[in-house]
Amino acid sequence: MTEPARPTIAAAVIIEEGRLLLVRRRVKEGQLSWQFPAGEVEPGETDEEAAVREANEETTLTVRATHSLGSRVHPNTGRTMAYVACDRISGTAEVGDPEELAEVAWCDRATLTDYVPYPFFGPVQEYLDATLV
């Protein structure tokens, strides 16, 4: 018997004024500590809708999905990940779920590797290279 497929994780890739928003989870997922606001896609939800919802739940920001950056099975977690580029519509980034998150941070190109020292998924890295300062 095979186990049922686990839901896709939708990640919101939010860049504003050349900086990327990351969240730090209270409990690391493998090597992952700092990561994109993300969570499971719920039944009936698109990847884009889940990324927008998770960004709001985790950071209190209201964001708009602009386009998909692709999907893959994450090499560290084994979960299917969908990456969604999002623009901030309103709000100030702060910890919206203190049970799950410890802090949020806006990173520029120079400080990003301090938070995430391993490579990003290729299409996400290309997007970051084109938009971070």
d(CA 17, CA 93): 14
Long-range Cβ contacts of 66-69 (<8 Å, 24+ apart): 69/13, 69/121, 69/123, 69/124, 69/127
Which pLDDT band holds residue 4 (cuts at 50, 70, 90)?
low
Task: Name the strand (E) or helix (H) holding 85.
Answer: strand 80-90
Label residue 10 left, alpha or beta by phi (over 0 means left) and psi (-120 to 50 means alpha).
Answer: beta
**pTM for the predicted model, two decimal places:** 0.93
Q: Which domains does the chain have, with CATH numbers?
A: 9-124 (3.90.79.10)
Question: What average pLDDT does range 2-15 have in this prediction?
Answer: 89
Q: What is the pLDDT of residue 1?
A: 62
Kindly state the percentage of the chain with pLDDT values over 90: 83
